[in-house]
C-alpha cells in the first residue's frame, strides 16, 4: 500500500471554497487578497480509502497547505508528523513533496 495524492472527489472532499467554518473561510478570504497565487482553499484528502493510520491536521496551514494545496507541506505543521512517519514504507508520498 503506497499513499499518494489523489484528485479532489466530491463524495469525500469539501469544495475548495468550503464555508462550513466561518472563521476559517474568512481567514482564507483574507489570504486570497494577500497571496493571490497561493492555493487558499480546503485541502483535499490523499491516500488510500481504507488506511491503517489516519493523520488529521489542524487548519489553517498558513505557508504549507494553504500555499501548496497539499497537507503537511511547507511549514512547521508538517515537520513532526512527516518526520515521525518517514521511516514507514507506506509513506513514500513524502518524497513527492517539494
Instruction: Identify the pLDDT of residue 91.
Output: 57
Nearest residue to 6 (alpha-carbon basis) of 51, 62, 58: 51
- Encode the chain (98 residues) as per-residue pLDDT tens digits: 444 455 667 677 888 898 998 998 998 899 999 999 999 988 887 777 777 777 777 776 778 888 888 877 777 666 666 677 767 665 555 444 44
User: To 5 degrees, how large is the angle CA 61–CA 62–CA 65?
Assistant: 45
Amino acid at each position: 500500500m503506497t499513499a499518494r495524492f489523489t484528485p479532489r472527489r466530491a463524495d469525500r472532499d469539501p469544495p475548495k471554497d468550503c464555508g462550513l467554518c466561518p472563521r476559517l473561510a474568512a481567514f482564507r478570504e483574507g489570504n486570497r487578497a494577500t497571496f493571490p497565487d497561493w492555493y487558499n482553499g480546503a485541502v483535499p484528502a490523499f491516500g488510500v480509502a481504507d488506511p491503517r493510520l489516519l493523520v488529521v491536521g489542524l487548519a489553517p496551514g498558513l505557508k504549507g497547505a494553504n500555499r501548496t494545496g497539499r497537507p503537511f507541506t511547507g511549514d512547521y505543521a508538517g515537520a513532526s508528523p512527516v518526520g515521525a512517519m518517514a521511516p514507514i514504507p507506506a509513506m513514500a508520498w513524502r518524497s513527492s513533496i517539494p
